[in-house]
C-alpha cells in the first residue's frame, strides 16, 4: 500500500529488472566456463551495485549461485556482509585504511592488499592473533592505480617470510584498456600477470573485468570480476551488446503549456521557440543524475515516439518539445520514458559525452524504485 502510494506520488520511477541481472550473470559465467581455464564468476557490487541497489542485486545473484563479491570500500563490505550468506566471500578492493584492519577482520571481509603498508598491517594483526588471516593481493601490471608496484613486489620478495601470517586466497590485477581490444596494453598486462601469477603457485588468479571477459579465454584465469556487464552496459563498445538492459526509467509530466514563436524556454534562454510549440515539463533533473550535459542533446519517449529536450536541464525538471504528440495522448501525471528499449544507458552516456558507468552510478535517491523479478 505505502509502496503503491509512493509510486503514485513519485515524480520519476526507476525499475530494476533483477531477472536481467541474473541472466547477465549466467551469460558471463558461461563465458568463463567455455574457456580452457574454467574460470568462476564473481560479481562487483561497489557503489551500491552501480546504483541498482546492493542488497537486492546481491540476493538475486546469490540465488543464481554467485558466492564471490567485490566492493570498493570497507563500509560497503560491512553492509554487504549482513545481506549475503556466510559462505560468500567479500573482497574489499581498497583494502583497509590505516588502523582499520581489525574492522575488516571483525566483519569477515577479505582485504585486497594493495601496497606494502596494507600488507604490513595485515601481517601485524595476524601476528597479534597468532593465526593466518585471509587476504587477496593486488599487483599492478601497468595501470599505476592500485596494487603492488613491481619494484615493491621485488623488494618484498627478498624476505622469505614476507607472506608470513597471510592466507593468500587470490592474486589479482586490473586492466586499463579492456574495452579497446586492439590496445597493446591488454597483451602486455596479460603477460605481466602470467609472470606474477607464477610467483604464487596454487593461488587462484583474477584479471578480467567485464570487458576483459570478452578479450578471450587467455584473460580469464580463475575468477572473472565483472561489474558493468551485470547491469547491462555494453562491455564491447562498437559491437552488438549481448547483455540485457537491467534498468528502465520513466519521469512524469508535471505541466503542459503552449508557447508562441520567439518565447524562451528554460535557464539561460538557450531555447527559443521557432514557432508555436507544446512544452511538457517532467519531474527529473540533474539532481537526479540526468546530467546537465544532456541539454539540447537528448530525448524522451512518449509511447515509443521520441520527443527532444527543449532548453537547459534544470535541477529538478526538464522541458520537452512534445509538439509531435497528439494532445489527447499526453497529460499531467503521465510517465514518459528516459531509459527504455529505444534508449539504453550507453545511448544516454554517448549523448552526455560520458560512459554508461557514470550514468548508472548517478541514478538518484529521489526516484521511486521498483524491483521486478529476482
Binding site residues, as ranges? 145, 315
Q: State the minimum distance, in angstroms, from the CB of residue 227 to ligand PLP.
A: 3
Residues 6 or more apart whose CB falls under 8 angstroms from that of 70 comprise 42, 43, 44, 45, 46, 90, 91, 93, 225, 227
- Which letter, b or e, does each residue of 110-140 get, where b requires 16 or more Cβ atoms within 10 Å of its Cβ? bbbbbeeebbebbbebbeeeeeebbbbbbbb
Alpha-carbon distance of 151 to 41, in angstroms, equals 31
Contact in structure between 210 and 24 (CB atoms under 8 Å): no
Q: State the minimum distance, in angstroms, from the CB of residue 357 to ligand PLP.
A: 6
Q: Indicate which residue of 46, 50, 271, 357 is catalytic.
A: 46
Q: State the minimum distance, in angstroms, from the CB of residue 17 to ligand PLP.
A: 18
Annotated binding site for substrate: 145, 315
Where on the chain is the footprint of ligand PLP (CB under 6 A)? 44, 46, 93, 174, 209-211, 225-229
Contact in structure between 172 and 136 (CB atoms under 8 Å): yes
Alpha-carbon distance of 218 to 193, in angstroms, equals 11
228 vs 265, beta carbon nearer ligand PLP: 228
233 vs 250, beta carbon nearer ligand PLP: 233
**Quick check: is 357 catalytic?**
no
242 vs 296, beta carbon nearer ligand PLP: 242
Q: State the minimum distance, in angstroms, from the CB of residue 363 to ligand PLP.
A: 15
DSSP for 116-131, written as a single string: HHHHHHHHHHHHHHTS
Residues 6 or more apart whose CB falls under 8 angstroms from that of 213 comprise 28, 31, 32, 219, 220, 224, 226, 229, 235
**Quick check: is 164 catalytic?**
no
Q: Look at the chain and count its residues.
A: 374
Q: State the minimum distance, in angstroms, from the CB of residue 28 to ligand PLP.
A: 9
178 vs 250, beta carbon nearer ligand PLP: 178
Alpha-carbon distance of 202 to 217, in angstroms, equals 19
DSSP strands (E only) in the chain: 12-17, 40-41, 43-44, 68-71, 89-92, 110-113, 133-138, 166-172, 205-206, 223-224, 247-259, 264-265, 271-272, 277-282, 299-302, 305-308, 318-321, 335-339, 368-372
Q: State the minimum distance, in angstroms, from the CB of residue 172 to ligand PLP.
A: 7
Alpha-carbon distance of 132 to 27, in angstroms, equals 36
Closest residue (Cβ) to ligand PLP? Answer: 227
44 vs 177, beta carbon nearer ligand PLP: 44
Cell of 291: 546530467
Q: State the minimum distance, in angstroms, from the CB of residue 226 to ligand PLP.
A: 4
Q: Indicate which residue of 25, 50, 231, 267 is catalytic.
A: 267
132 vs 203, beta carbon nearer ligand PLP: 203
Alpha-carbon distance of 140 to 158, in angstroms, equals 18
13 vs 205, beta carbon nearer ligand PLP: 205
Catalytic residues: 46, 267
Amino acid at each position: 500500500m505505502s509502496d503503491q502510494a509512493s509510486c503514485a506520488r513519485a515524480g520519476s520511477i526507476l525499475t530494476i529488472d533483477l531477472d536481467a541481472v541474473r541472466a547477465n550473470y549466467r551469460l558471463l559465467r558461461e563465458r568463463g566456463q567455455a574457456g580452457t581455464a574454467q574460470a568462476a564468476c564473481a560479481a562487483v557490487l561497489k557503489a551500491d551495485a552501480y546504483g541498482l541497489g546492493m542488497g537486492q542485486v546481491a540476493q538475486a545473484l546469490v540465488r543464481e549461485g554467485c558466492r564471490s563479491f567485490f566492493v570498493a570500500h570497507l563500509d560497503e563490505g560491512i553492509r554487504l556482509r549482513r545481506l549475503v550468506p556466510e559462505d560468500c566471500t567479500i573482497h574489499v578492493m581498497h583494502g583497509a585504511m590505516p588502523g582499520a584492519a581489525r574492522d575488516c577482520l571483525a566483519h569477515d571481509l577479505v582485504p585486497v592488499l594493495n601496497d606494502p603498508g596494507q600488507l604490513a598491517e595485515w601481517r601485524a594483526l595476524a601476528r597479534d592473533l597468532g593465526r593466518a588471516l585471509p587476504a587477496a593481493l593486488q599487483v599492478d601490471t601497468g595501470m599505476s592505480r592500485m596494487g603492488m608496484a613491481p619494484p615493491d613486489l621485488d623488494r618484498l620478495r627478498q624476505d622469505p617470510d614476507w607472506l608470513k601470517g597471510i592466507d593468500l586466497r587470490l592474486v589479482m590485477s586490473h586492466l586499463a584498456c579492456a574495452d579497446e581490444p586492439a590496445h597493446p596494453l591488454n597483451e602486455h598486462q596479460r603477460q605481466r600477470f602470467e609472470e606474477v601469477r607464477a610467483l604464487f603457485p596454487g593461488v587462484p588468479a583474477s584479471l578480467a573485468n567485464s570487458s576483459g571477459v570478452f578479450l578471450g579465454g587467455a584473460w580469464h584465469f580463475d575468477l572473472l570480476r565483472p561489474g558493468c556487464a551485470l547491469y547491462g552496459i555494453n562491455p564491447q563498445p562498437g559491437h552488438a551488446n549481448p547483455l540485457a538492459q537491467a534498468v528502465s526509467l520513466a519521469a512524469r509530466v508535471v505541466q503542459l503549456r503552449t508557447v508562441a514563436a520567439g518565447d524562451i524556454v528554460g535557464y539561460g534562454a538557450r531555447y527559443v521557440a521557432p514557432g508555436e510549440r507544446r512544452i511538457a515539463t517532467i519531474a527529473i533533473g540533474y539532481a537526479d543524475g540526468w546530467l546537465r550535459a544532456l541539454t539540447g542533446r537528448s530525448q524522451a519517449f512518449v509511447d515509443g515516439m521520441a520527443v527532444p529536450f527543449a532548453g537547459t536541464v534544470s535541477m529538478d525538471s526538464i522541458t520537452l518539445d512534445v509538439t509531435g504528440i497528439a494532445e489527447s495522448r499526453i497529460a499531467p501525471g503521465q510517465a514518459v520514458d528516459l531509459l527504455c528499449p529505444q534508449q539504453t544507458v550507453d545511448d544516454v552516456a554517448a549523448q552526455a559525452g560520458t560512459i554508461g558507468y557514470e550514468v548508472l552510478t548517478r541514478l538518484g535517491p529521489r526516484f521511486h524504485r521498483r524491483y521486478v523479478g529476482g
